Structure formats: structure tokens, C-alpha cells
Amino acid sequence: MVDSRIEKLAQLCVHYSVNVKPNEQVIIQGTELAFPLISEIYKECLLSGTHPFVLANLDLQYTFFKYAKEHQLTFAPPFMKFIAENVDVNIGIFCEPSPKGLSNVDPAKFRMRAASRKELMEIFNKRVAEGKLRRTGLPYPINAEAQEASMSLQEYEDFVYSSCLVDREDPAAEWKKVHQQQQKTCDFLNQASEIRVVGEDTDLTFNVKGRKWINCSGHENMPDGEVFTGPVENSVNGAVRFTYPAIYAGREVEDVKLTFKDGKVVKASAAKGDEFLQQTLKIEGADRLGETAIGTNYGITRFTKNMLFDEKMGGTVHMALGNAYPESGGQNKSPIHWDILKDMKKDGEIYADGKLFYKNGKSLI
């Protein structure tokens, strides 16, 4: 018998997050372990009159990076470009069977693989910004990720489904309330030009004039709860120290410190994983900020090593090295988008044009 919360999550995804329409082409991507959720989403799409297609992502990443030659690492399959150019809806299910499976892969191989995906990412993000493609990513809880989060599977399931608000009677109505609350912050920040973030070993300023703050309330991610924008590319100056491990491709890079001058990283260090950090910064566009965001979901109270949840955590900010989202007005282009998280609950402050509007993890608006 299917967990009723899986059914509700599928319905929330199909009818609220991406709001499918008859005859649209919908691609659903996920690992075999996420089959119960994939099946429910597939069913909901069929009942809605769409044309769903499932693309199974088998656990072959380690095999690829171990044996692939350079010409294979730099190859972008044409069918992926076709999908990016033609589908109406993309639904991705986050369900990683081997969270640490790529921890020992040569960082240079990641760099080559990422570079090969640049055009695909640009096509995908451009169509999203133009409203021609709707996307969403949502979780399916499994043992491997529960262990990463230091929870039992049952505890992790409760955490996942409550974070998505599918434990509520009407999850869609709850996410609409979140949207209304967050819009107040977006409206305020959309009038601002300069943002200053202050905290432990942190004093960073950047310009957001002409950029748009995006209200994230359950459409492109589930769970959700953040507001973000793309800083003006050459305006970032100062230093930031991230208090949580920066996780990318299964690697944990700890105590990341970055110094920016006129938008570019001019100094970077990490207590653990420094080589991976340095190699990643060599990727085109990865030495600039593509995103800065404020987490607003105070129902997510613990770090799980899964950025789908962690970046939404109330009382935090996150910044992304690499690609910017065009819908915010961000122009930085890169084949990577690496979100890194900072706790703001102790001595954290954010100013907009010199006015303090956020202190110790809470908005003052």
C-alpha cells in the first residue's frame, strides 16, 4: 500500500508546483529507488491529460568517472539537448542512493564534465526564464540519505514530508500562505540597491539594482522557503566565511572562506577539501556569485547535508558560486551552481541601503 503522503506529494507536485496542462510533454527523472513517487507522479500526469515520459537515472556515476576517457567526459549527449529544447515540464526527484559515492573522484574530471554541460544549462535556464519550461525538484526519502542526516528512515520520512507540508490537510493552500508572507520581503528588497551581509568573519557588500528578488514558494523546489536574486556581477566585495560544510557531488568542503574584489574570488580556502574548492573555482564563471539568498523555512531546523532542505533553513543565508538564474536578472554563466550555507542566528545582520532589516536569523520587516 502506498504511503498516503507519497500520493499527496505527487498531487502537490503535478497540480501546484508545475501545474501541468493537457497535451504538455512532461519528463520525470529519478533513480529506481524513487519508483513509488515516480509511479504516482506518472499516474497524476496521465490523469491530467499530459504526455509523461520517465527517464531513469541509474546509479552509474562512479562507473562513469572511473572509466570515462577525456572525449567521453567532454561529450554532451544530443538527446539531452533535445529534451532541454522541447519539453514543457521537467520534474526531477532527488533520491541519491550513494551520497558519498563520488568523494574520491579526481576534481579535474568533474571540471571537464561540468564544462560539457554549459550549453545545456544555458538552454534550460533560458527557457525557464522565458516561461517556456516549468521545472521542479522534490525529494523521496531513502535509507542512505537518512543516514547522512543522522536519522532513522522513519524519522527522515516524517522530516521530509512535514518539510513539504504534505502532512497538512491542504498543502497547496499552505504554500500559497508562504508565498504571501515572503512577498513582503521581496517587495522591500526590490526597492534596494546595495546589500551588506555581516556576520562571523563576514562583511560582504554587493549591488542588486535592477535585479529581481524571486519568491520561492514551492514551485521550482519542494520543499521551499527562500528569497533570492543574482548580484550585479562586478559588484561583490569583501569576505564571507561559511559555517556549514559546502557539499557538491558528494564531497564535503569545510570552513570555506572567500574574499571577493569587484565580483571575482581573489582568495579562497577550506579547512577540508581545499583542492576540490580550488579546482572548482577554475571552472568558467565559478569564481563569481550567481545567487544570494535568505532561507525562510523555520520548519527545517537541522542540517541534513542535502541542500534541497538545508538552503531553505530559516536563520541562514546561502550564496551560489557559478551560474545565475536569468529570471532574477543575473547574467553570470557557468556550468555549475554551487550553493554554500551560512548560519546567521548569532550576530548575523543584513542591511539594505544602510538600513538594518535582518538580525540574528530573523527579518525585521
Residue 201 reports pLDDT greater than 80: yes
Domains of the chain: 4-167 (3.40.1830.10), 178-363 (no CATH)
Could you give the CA distance from residue 68 to residue 74 in angstroms, rounded to a whole number? 10
The pLDDT mean for the chain works out to 95
In contact, 277 and 338? CB cutoff 8 Å: no
| Calpha distance 351→357 (Å, rounded) | 6
Binned at pLDDT 50, 70 and 90, residue 102 comes out as confident
Helix, coil or strand: residue 231:
coil
pLDDT score for 1: 64
Highest mean pLDDT among 60-64, 95-99, 103-107, 214-218: 214-218
Please state, as a whole number, how many other Cβ atoms lie within 10 Å of the Cβ of residue 78.
Answer: 8
Mean pLDDT value across residues 46-65:
95
CB-based contacts of 286: which residues, under 8 Å, 6+ apart?
A: 280, 321, 322, 334, 336, 338
Cα angle: 350, vertex 352, 353; to 5 degrees: 135
pLDDT (0 to 100) of residue 355: 97
**Nearest alpha carbon to residue 26 among 45, 52, 4, 47:** 52
How much is the pTM?
A: 0.91
Q: Which long-range contacts (CB under 8 A, 24 or more apart) does 98-104 make?
A: 98/59, 98/61, 98/62, 98/144, 98/250, 99/144, 99/145, 99/148, 99/250, 99/305, 100/148, 100/250, 101/59, 101/61, 101/62, 101/250, 102/61, 102/62, 102/65, 102/249, 102/250, 102/251, 103/250, 103/251
Tell me what the mean pLDDT of segment 93-117 comes to. Answer: 88
**pLDDT band for position 111 (cuts 50, 70, 90):** confident
pLDDT at residue 108, as a whole number = 87
Q: Residue 100 — pLDDT band, cuts 50, 70, 90? A: confident
Residues contacting 53, CB < 8 A, separation 6+:
25, 26, 27, 28
Taking alpha carbons only, the member of 209, 155, 215, 189 closest to residue 329 is 209
Percent of the chain with pLDDT over 70: 100
Separation of alpha carbons 287 and 274, rounded Å: 14
List of long-range contacts for 257-261, beta carbons under 8 Å, 24+ apart: 257/201, 260/204, 260/236, 260/289, 261/237
Range of weakest confidence among 78-92, 106-120, 161-175, 280-294: 106-120
What pLDDT digit, counting tens, does each position of 304-343 carry?
999 999 999 999 999 999 999 999 999 999 989 999 999 9
d(CA 190, CA 202): 23
- Find the Cα–Cα–Cα–Cα dihedral 170, 172, 178, 181, rounded to 10°: -90
What confidence tier does 131 reach under pLDDT thresholds 50, 70, 90? very high
Range in 52-56, 103-107, 259-263 with the lowest mean pLDDT = 103-107
Per DSSP (E only), the strands in 10-158 are 25-30, 51-56, 89-94, 134-139
